[in-house]
């Protein structure tokens, strides 16, 4: 039987409990995602990561650490990274209307700053034992839209969704997390940031395929619907995934429905993941689901599903790994249900482990030793990068 450890789970506290250790040892568990609740200090975070690796050396330790408002660790020496929109604004700042010899100056400065951000981000995390940050965001910074352009479906559990007013401001869920409105600018800034991550020894994850920036609804609490055609999406929001297909190590699809392409959200759609992302756009890396506890993951084909059913649907659609987040506080019953549910699905041949999926997971682990924090702080490359961050 092929080995495949597709589950990325979390823990509730600052150290591992006996139950946490048992879950981490399970052969279907392949990673851990950390949150601010798992942070007290650099020393504690480093000890937690070391403890995780002592149980499973091959476990992938992940975090959402983008900069701006999505940065889990902000104290005890961690650099406060700017939101990615700040880099897009730097790109547009060419001094005197960008004319003459100054034209393009802002863009070149921005790409250099993006590389510096990626290097600092990756180096600081790796010095504490974290393997991967789910960054960069490749969504476009759409300014305005009307309710007829982007709508939402009813959320599970009887919840109601909201339709925004015409001409409403940027999507709250993406907003300043995006580099820019222009996919060309997004692609070049993201590539520069990924170069910095590479210098630090960290892989990357582009999100949220094929684009979450156009819809106003937050897929954490609603099920967004983007009614644009496939042609329109590929020409705009999804373009960075094509242009970066030699650079992206992993991708995370959106919990958004694009009904003119598929009735299922992108993360549960073989058409989106296999036919379009891998086949048409040429992506060959790992695919993570977004958090299965989000509202956008709980309704598939009009039916409310369990976490295990959502995991099976995502894996069968083409995901290599699936995340279940923020379900450990009550003793982790949902995590145990996911593990047991996927085990049963495997025994019933409803899901089959994929050797390639496991190879893609292992490829995301750093190949170089982690830096020592104190040494990193005085290294010339790190100090130079700090001076470039806006």
Residues with catalytic roles: 220, 290
Question: Please, what sign has the CA dihedral across residues 147, 242, 67, 40?
Answer: positive
Count CB atoms within 10 A of the CB of residue 172: 11
Contact, 292 vs 326, CB < 8 A? Answer: no
> Residue 7's closest CA among 27, 36, 37?
27
Distance CA 192, CA 177 (A): 16
The token pair that represents 78 in the structure block? 């961690």
Query: Which residues are CB-neighbours of 70 under 8 A, at least 6 positions away?
Result: 64, 177
Distance CA 186, CA 115 (A): 13
Max CA distance (Å), the chain: 67
Helices (H), the chain: 18-25, 42-55, 84-92, 105-127, 183-200, 230-235, 239-243, 270, 307-317, 333-347, 355-363, 373-377, 380-386
In the block, tokens 């820019």 appear at 180
In the block, tokens 């091959």 appear at 58
Rounded to 5 degrees, φ, ψ at 46 are -60, -40
Bridge pairing between strands 262-265 and 223-226: unpaired
Rounded to 5 degrees, φ, ψ at 280 are -80, -40
Contact, 113 vs 386, CB < 8 A? Answer: no
Contact, 175 vs 155, CB < 8 A? Answer: no
Distance CA 342, CA 26 (A): 12
DSSP assignment, residue 37? G
Distance CA 225, CA 40 (A): 38
């Amino acid at each position: 039987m092929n080995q495949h450890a597709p589950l990325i789970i979390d823990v509730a506290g600052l150290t591992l409990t006996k139950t946490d250790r048992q879950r981490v040892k399970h052969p279907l568990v392949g990673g851990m995602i950390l949150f601010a609740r798992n942070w007290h200090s650099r020393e504690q975070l480093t000890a937690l990561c070391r403890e995780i690796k002592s149980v499973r050396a091959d476990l992938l330790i992940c975090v959402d650490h983008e900069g701006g408002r999505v940065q889990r660790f902000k104290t005890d020496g961690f650099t406060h990274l700017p939101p990615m929109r700040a880099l897009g604004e730097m790109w547009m700042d060419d001094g005197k209307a960008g004319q003459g010899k100054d034209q393009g100056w802002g863009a070149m400065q921005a790409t250099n700053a993006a590389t510096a951000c990626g290097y600092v981000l990756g180096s600081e995390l790796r010095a504490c034992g974290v393997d991967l940050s789910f960054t960069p965001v490749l969504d476009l910074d759409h300014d305005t839209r009307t309710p007829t352009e982007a709508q939402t479906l009813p959320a599970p559990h009887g919840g109601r969704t909201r339709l925004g007013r015409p001409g409403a401001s940027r999507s709250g869920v993406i907003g300043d997390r995006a580099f820019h409105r222009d996919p060309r600018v997004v692609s070049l800034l993201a590539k520069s940031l990924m170069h910095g991550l590479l210098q630090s020894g960290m892989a990357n994850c582009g999100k949220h395929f094929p684009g979450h920036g156009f819809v106003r609804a937050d897929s954490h609490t609603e099920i967004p619907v983007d009614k644009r055609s496939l042609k329109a999406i590929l020409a705009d929001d999804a373009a960075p995934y094509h242009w970066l297909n030699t650079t992206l190590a992993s991708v995370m699809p959106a919990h958004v429905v694009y009904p003119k392409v598929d009735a299922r959200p992108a993360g549960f759609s073989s058409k989106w993941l296999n036919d379009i992302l891998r086949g048409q756009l040429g992506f060959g890396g790992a695919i993570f689901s977004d958090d299965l506890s989000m509202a956008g993951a709980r309704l598939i084909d009009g039916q409310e599903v369990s976490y295990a059913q959502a995991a099976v649907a995502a894996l069968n659609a083409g995901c290599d790994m699936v995340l279940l987040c923020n379900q450990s506080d009550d003793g982790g019953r949902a995590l145990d249900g996911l593990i047991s549910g996927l085990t049963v699905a495997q025994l019933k041949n409803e899901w089959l482990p994929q050797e390639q999926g496991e190879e893609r997971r292992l490829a995301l682990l750093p190949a170089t030793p982690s830096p020592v924090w104190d040494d990193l702080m005085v290294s010339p490359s790190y100090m130079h990068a700090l001076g470039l961050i806006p």
